[in-house]
Amino acid sequence: MTKTEADKIKKECKKTSTKAAFISAAGGAVPIPGVDIGTDVAILLKTLPKISRRFNLSNEQIDELDDQGRLLVFNAIKRAGAELIGRAITKDVIITIFKRMGLKVATRQVAKYIPFVGSLVSAGISYGAMKIVINMHINQCYNVVAEINGFKAD
């Protein structure tokens, strides 16, 4: 993959990130506890593997490589600190992400009990958290591709 191709994919994925964050915000605005988490799990289960596939880094695509290719990819993944690349994204993996973001999730749940303003706060937290998680994954995929293909990541 060339840098130009990777840049184009990154740009397209950032648009996907924004759309997903808006959907997450809509789920976060619903004043019923738990709806937001269900929405976020569904979004991440769909979006993270889609991004990995766009960068040719899904676990299926990596499995198709020869041994040397897999080793190259896994070393690049390790150096990038990318925990989600080359893994099956499951509900358990998403729950682990949420546990790491514990304070944001807890704040979002508590905010729902404050009439009107609470829903806005929850929606804002949902939007921001979703952007952070997805953009982090995009950047890690991009960095892995850059290292594998020998170009400098932005």
CA distance 36 to 41: 9
**Quick one: pLDDT at residue 109?**
53
Q: What is the pLDDT of residues 22-53, one digit of tens each?
A: 999 998 887 776 777 788 889 999 999 999 99
Higher pLDDT, 79 or 109: 79
Q: Give the global pTM.
A: 0.82
Gap between the Cα atoms of 56 and 4, Å rounded = 15
Give the integer Cα–Cα distance in Å for 101 and 51: 21
Averaged pLDDT for residues 85-105: 72
Q: What is the pLDDT of residues 104-136, one digit of tens each?
A: 555 555 555 566 666 777 788 889 889 989 999
- Determine the number of helices (DSSP H) and then strands (DSSP E) in the chain: 7, 0
As a residue count, the chain comes to 154
- Report d(CA 52, CA 25) in Å as an integer: 23
